[in-house]
Amino acid sequence: MNRRSMCVAVACAAMVFTAVVPVAAQNIDAKEYWLDNGMQVLMVERHEAPTIMAAIFARVGSANEATGITGISHLFEHMMFKGTETIGTKDIKRDREIMAQLDSIRILMRAEEQVMRGKLRRGEIEDMLDPEAKTPRYRELDAVFDELIDEQRQLIIKDQLNELYSKHGGFFLNAFTSDDFTGYFVRLPKNKIELFMWLESDRFRNPVFREFYSERDVVREERRLGVESTPTGLIEEDFRSMFWKSSSYHWDVIGWASDLESITREQANQYYDTYYAPNNLTMILVGDLEPDKMIKLVKEYFERIPRGTTSPPDVTTLEEKQHGEKRLVAEAETNPKAEIWYHTVAWKHPDSYPLEVLAGIMSGKTGRLFKKLVEEKGIAKSSAGGRRRMFGGSGLAVRANQESMKYGGAFQISAEGISGVRAEQLEEAMHEVIEDLKNNPVPEDELQKVKNQLRVQKIRFMDIMSGIGILFYLGQNAARGDWTEANNNPEMCDLVTAEDVQRVANKYFANDQRNVMIVNSKAGPEGEAEGGEDPRFTRAVQMIKSMNDPAQLEQMIGMFSMRMDQVEDPEQKARMEKLLKLANERLKELKAAEGK
């Protein structure tokens, strides 16, 4: 199992067991610098430990994609770990020769794929992935292609970047992709920061996208595991694409399956040259450092990378106005679930702050949704199942989230019911909460309590892993266009009044802007995954069992262990303990196998 699949398992656990990135509770004292090539650098001093959290954020995500290359941003998250001219290969000359041959064969194979797509449209074949559906010429080309792939594998030094960091005390080398940005990060001892400068400047200056086509298959498998094989994954994908009618948030970060099978290396190179140039990057350093001294080292290594020749284009297709309620009704082998989404506003819009506070009023164990659906009516579960979106939700089965992204916004309300309940009952109870907020001002003491809760959440988040909370919170704002919003946000939320909350509830919770997803149980009254387990937990278990790299598994165990202190819900804690036990058992198996 490669490190990218490990990221999926980490993401599964993180989405189950972590809280939403909360409103800031204190200013982040960052120093900002700009390199001559347009690269932004932000540094935050934290001298509690002799370590530095280091990251590079690219201001590109799935929203920058277009039909035909959906999923390419996430694919790059994978490709950026494949090495450079000097890292990851035993023979760069032959390595590049093989890649050129593979590209030439892929051109011929794409011509055969065009023939197969025509047959698919005419009903002559049912599935292009079926080996029997391949044309004879495609099979011939595929055999030669596989031979070259096997030869290239003999030249590759797997995970050399990770090994170099680990050898020098580096930890938690990882990456993630969102709708608006992509981030690469690592924690390392302060006396090894020059290693970071050398390695990262090399991989952003001289990346080699070896294993490109096989990695597409890895991402395709990731989609199968994370979306297609889960009880509600495809339904939720349908719901997202129904909600976002015209904007590029229409597809999920993982991309459409047909695009993942057809993206070319040429398209990848063009995308990289446009969006991974230094003028579209932000470096963030948090930890035991002196900014005015550190910037000299940054300039030494990163100013040698030339500015991009093509400026990243702005996203011009915005979301068109909705003109009536939309509903998606489905059944799945899971407990009943209801979601209500409303179109709202983008990041930094003045209404994003009262909407964020409104989400806090509705969420949490003391929130309106939990009180109504769990405590009063007894129709909803307390802890969550199903998929969770990045930076969204609280681990509870009833939750609300104002998702203010760069180019648009959505207010998302969801609930998972207990066995025997209909999803329509959840929807009706959610509407009761909504109508009450529209008709009655929130009491001042409740409003202040929510603001205080958000502050506490932020303090806890900021303390995670020697600055990784600061890094993520600062990075997402910088990548969207203004890192100072990390400090502006709490001030604006503190100014929110009960009248503001009631106003935005009435403005945005309009019937003709409502999108509803109803999922009732197909499996009868039991309705849950086997053993009543959360489907995400089951998926994480499967991934841990398939891992073959002890170093990656140790990283996962370390992250799980640190997250344990953040978990309060007993059910969630029990699942985390199960994952930790399973991961440690798997680690023992792998080390025992190495010793033979």
Considering 270, 302, 334, which residue would you say is the last residue of a domain?
Answer: 302
554 part of a folded domain: yes
Rounded distance between C-alpha atoms, residue 107 and residue 120, angstroms: 20
Rounded distance between C-alpha atoms, residue 280 and residue 277, angstroms: 6
The pLDDT, as a whole number, for residue 579 is 84
Check whether 511 has a pLDDT greater than 60. yes
360 part of a folded domain: yes
272 part of a folded domain: yes
The pLDDT, as a whole number, for residue 380 is 94
Does residue 224 sit in the same domain as residue 195? yes
Check whether 343 has a pLDDT greater than 70. yes
Does residue 425 sit in the same domain as residue 561? no
Q: Which residues pair with 54 in a beta bridge?
A: 186, 285
Indicate the number of domains in the chain: 3
383 part of a folded domain: yes
Does residue 421 sit in the same domain as residue 545? no
Does residue 504 sit in the same domain as residue 542? no
Does residue 289 sit in the same domain as residue 430? no
Does residue 235 sit in the same domain as residue 334? no
The answer to whether 12 touches 539, Cβ cutoff 8 Å, is yes
148 part of a folded domain: yes
The answer to whether 149 touches 214, Cβ cutoff 8 Å, is yes
Considering 252, 267, 302, which residue would you say is the last residue of a domain?
Answer: 302
Does residue 517 sit in the same domain as residue 546? no
pTM of the model: 0.83
Three-state secondary structure readout of 484-516? CHHHHHHHHHHCCCHHHHHHHHHHHCCHHHEEE
pLDDT band at 566 (very low <50, low <70, confident <90, very high): low
pLDDT digits (tens, 9 = 90+) for 13-27: 443 333 333 333 468
527 part of a folded domain: no
| Residue 358 exposed, middle or buried by CB count within 10 Å (0-12, 13-18, 19+) | buried
Three-state secondary structure readout of 390-457? CCCCCCECEEEEEEECCCCEEEEEEEEECCCCCHHHHHHHHHHHHHHHHHCCCCHHHHHHHHHHHHHH
pLDDT band at 559 (very low <50, low <70, confident <90, very high): low
pLDDT band at 456 (very low <50, low <70, confident <90, very high): confident
Listed in sequence order, the residues at least 6 apart from 282 whose beta carbon sits closer than 8 Å to its beta carbon are: 39, 40, 41, 42, 56, 57, 59, 475, 478, 479, 483
The percent of residues above 70 in pLDDT, for the chain, comes to 87
pLDDT digits (tens, 9 = 90+) for 154-173: 999 998 999 999 999 998 89
The pLDDT, as a whole number, for residue 180 is 97
Task: Give the structural domain span for 393.
Answer: 326-521
Check whether 313 has a pLDDT greater than 80. yes
Rounded distance between C-alpha atoms, residue 572 and residue 242, angstroms: 31
Mean pLDDT, residues 40-54 taken together: 94
Does residue 408 sit in the same domain as residue 259? no
Does residue 362 sit in the same domain as residue 469? yes
Does residue 349 sit in the same domain as residue 468? yes
pLDDT digits (tens, 9 = 90+) for 207-228: 999 999 989 888 988 998 889 9
320 part of a folded domain: no
Considering 521, 550, 582, which residue would you say is the last residue of a domain?
Answer: 521
pLDDT band at 190 (very low <50, low <70, confident <90, very high): very high
Does residue 550 sit in the same domain as residue 459? no
308 part of a folded domain: no
Check whether 472 has a pLDDT greater than 50. yes
Pull the structure tokens for residue 548.
């073959």
The pLDDT, as a whole number, for residue 56 is 97
Rounded distance between C-alpha atoms, residue 302 and residue 284, angstroms: 13
Question: What CATH code is carried by the domain that includes residue 181?
Answer: 3.30.830.10
Does residue 292 sit in the same domain as residue 332? no
Residue 25 is which amino acid? A
- For residue 285, give Cα distances in angstroms to 31, 182, 485: 10, 16, 18
